[in-house]
Structure 1
Amino acid sequence: MNEDARARIYNSFAAQSMMQTLGAELIEVAEGIVRIASPILPGSRQQQGFGHAGLTFSIGDSAAGYAALTLLPLDMEVVTAEIKINLLAPARGERLIATGRVVKPGKRLCVVTSEVHAEADGKSTLIAILQGTMVPVPL
């Protein structure tokens, strides 16, 4: 990836107030793959103390969307058309890591996936899988 393409991802991510609210950060940006980490903060827990599914979904969706954006021209953006989530285990631990990947890039539709892992005591557990469709749109 060239620096302009990488900067576009970082600038767009920085403009997302939701990601700021969640304490999320980009930890990897490469062609077709983006990783986002977020702590499981007291304000993002569900009633049993685990990370809320909304946190899991939010960072999984963003990681998948930004993965699609890494493969698009600089004058394009993406929006989520649809995305589904399978929650596999409780979000136990200190932080979540979402890894978004492009399954099939395209000019009209991009099929994406994301895996979300919870990190606890140095151990990583797969807690969710997302799959969806991103639509490229002009800036």
Structure 2
Amino acid sequence: MNEFEARIRESFGRQTMMQTLGAELAKIDAGRVTILAPILAGSLQQHGAGHAGLAFSIGDSAAGYSALSLMPEGAEVMTVEMKINLMAPAVGDHLIAEGRVIRPGRRIMVVAADVWSVTADKRKHVAILQGTMIPV
């Protein structure tokens, strides 16, 4: 395990929100992080689909940790701003958020994440996020 992967896993482990959502780190690469979360009964909206808050939470974390993977040792990351476009209901067994760095910078990083709903072997693109991260 490399240094940034260990740092991301340690930070992720402190996120009680991710624990509440049942989210887990699936893949960590430099500038790219993937998070999986089940669509639990407690994270549904009134029509029975996964709540937008679930998609936003894991998308924001995947994008943020993709930024952290490129930050110097000792840094942590915080979201400055984040936008989401919801494109389809999050219906399925679980969601996958694939975060990536669009533009790394010393003071801010532009990031994005795609969120997919998954049922068996079928993926559906449900949301796109774009935002800005800052080292703290």
TM range (shorter): over 0.9
Q: Distance in 2 between matches of 1:47 and 1:121?
A: 23
Kindly report which structure 2 residues correspond to 1:1-139, keeping only aligned pairs within 5 A, or say none. 3-137=2-136
Stretches (4+) displaced over 4 A: none
Percent sequence identity is 58
Q: TM-score, normalised by structure 1?
A: 0.96
Offset at residue 3 of structure 1 (A): 1.7
Q: TM-score, normalised by structure 2?
A: 0.98
Offset at residue 74 of structure 1 (A): 1.0
Q: Distance in 1 between matches of 2:74 and 2:121?
A: 40
Paired residue type of 2:76: E
Paired residue type of 2:123: S
Alpha-carbon RMSD across the aligned residues, in angstroms, is 0.8
Q: Which runs of 5+ in 1 are unaligned?
A: none
Report how many residues are paired.
Answer: 136
Paired residue type of 1:34: V
Paired residue type of 1:86: N
Paired residue type of 2:5: R
